[in-house]
Chains A and B, each alone.
Chain A
């Protein structure tokens, strides 16, 4: 049983994970999710810190019986990322830059082939988000749907479309 699968199991009432353990186990996952959602590593870094800061403040209110720590953290991260994306959209409108300019350096993975990196850039934030949750973080359908605030079916449909689009955008990748 790998680490991701372990984290999906809902702890019993007596099992109260420590904050340090939650950070050690889920920081990478939250960071990956935010990288995919924002497409910006520096922003993802800041948002991950903000996410854990918020989680730190509301740690006393976290109830492990209601949701897994990863789902809870992804929910906080999503709210922070959506606020950031809104601010970014306003900034872009203000500066009249309509096309999203990503840095040329690799954003979505370390050593990821260029065409895949490029294809991920062409996906929408929502499409990358569902890929991050279901593929990278290996959240199960209901947990991912809960983070996204949509139904399980809608989540599956969104993932299927996102993967299909990604495949279409990367026909020549040497697999």
Chain B
């Protein structure tokens, strides 16, 4: 008989006391348990993520209802430094262009997009309009697609006329006007300049005293030069503010019908939906990646503890 057969033949049996002890236990009735496989959970999560992305893409790709054009921009010049923007997609009524508020310094910038038939002639005419109104064309850019962008500067008081005349070159496709109140900025700069002038005068008076010690004289001279430099900076800044308020800036885009037709074709709804869905999926991926990065140290620590316990158990059983 081999050792294995001996072991089998003389295997210990549980005593009767143990049988009765264990059989005295009465388990609760077994309930049907739904077993969830990790692969199913992962597949479900992935499906949910894709479905959410598709729904998001579908919702955001829906065509937006265009708001009715507002030809009369709101005016809010009561507070200092306020800005007003007016944007119209259709040919606006010229009266809608806000006129400069009297007694206030305002910076006006506008952009006009006008569809014309003859690009060259209309560009020349736009330049002439600027010159006639006392302004100038700062730059002209032609594009290969058949459009031109002209940066025009006109006196602030004539911006309304300029927009009217430039808009009359063809059909206005888009128009945007922005007005920024510079009065408070100008007042602040003027106050700083007055303060610096008083300081310069005081320093000059102090330096004129013959009894001034040499060390203090040197110190006052340094302060005087600093005050003069600051005064020059403020004067330059105020001149720039006045200049910005005196001249309006108009960016005029002239385009032919051909150029408008050749404009990049926008995506269809399906394309937009797919684009948005892919973007949403990318965001979901980033969230998952972030979660993994946050969870990874804990997972590593858990793994190390598990590994250490297992090694310890093996050592215990094999010693």
Contacts and interface: CB of A to CB of B under 8 A. Distances in A.
Given A27-B18, A124-B317, 4 more contacts: A23-B23, A49-B21, A124-B318, A135-B7
Nearest to A109: B10
Contact of B12 (A31, A113, A167): A31
Interface residues of A, number: 53
A63 B317 CA distance: 29
Interface string A110-142: 111100100000001111010100011000000
B67 interface: no
Given A31-B12, A109-B12, A61 B25 contact: no
Interface in B6-38: 6-8, 10-15, 17-19, 21-23, 25-28, 30-31, 33, 35
Across chains A and B, which 6 residue pairs bring their CB atoms closest together, nearest first? A109-B10, A126-B317, A31-B14, A59-B27, A112-B10, A56-B25
Interface in A75-121: 82, 85-86, 89, 107-113, 116
B3 A60 contact: no
B143 interface: no
Interface in A133-169: 135-136, 149, 163, 166-167
A109 B11 contact: yes
Q: By DSSP majority rule, is chain A's interface helix, strand, loop, or mixed? A: helix
Interface stretch (B43-51, B85-93, B187-195, B308-316): B308-316
A45 B317 CA distance: 19
Contact of A41 (B6, B12, B33, B317): B12
A116 B11 CA distance: 12
Nearest to A137: B11
Given A27-B14, A124-B317, A167 B3 contact: yes
Interface string B280-319: 0000000000000000000000000000001001101111
A110 B13 CA distance: 8
Contacts of B317: 37, 82, 85, 124-126, 129
22 contacts: A16-B30, A19-B27, A23-B23, A23-B25, A24-B23, A27-B19, A32-B11, A45-B14, A45-B18, A52-B22, A56-B27, A60-B27, A60-B28, A61-B33, A63-B33, A82-B313, A82-B317, A89-B316, A109-B12, A126-B314, A163-B4, A175-B6
Interface residues of B, number: 34
A20 B23 contact: yes
Contacts of A20: 23
A24 B319 CA distance: 34
Interface of A: 16, 19-20, 23-24, 27-28, 30-32, 35, 37, 41, 45, 48-49, 52-53, 56, 59-63, 65-66, 82, 85-86, 89, 107-113, 116, 124-127, 129, 131, 135-136, 149, 163, 166-167, 170, 173, 175
B1 interface: yes
Nearest to A108: B12
Nearest to B314: A126
B211 interface: no
B79 interface: no
A113 B8 contact: no
A146 B294 CA distance: 32
A53 B35 CA distance: 24
Nearest to B310: A149
Interface string B200-221: 0000000000000000000000
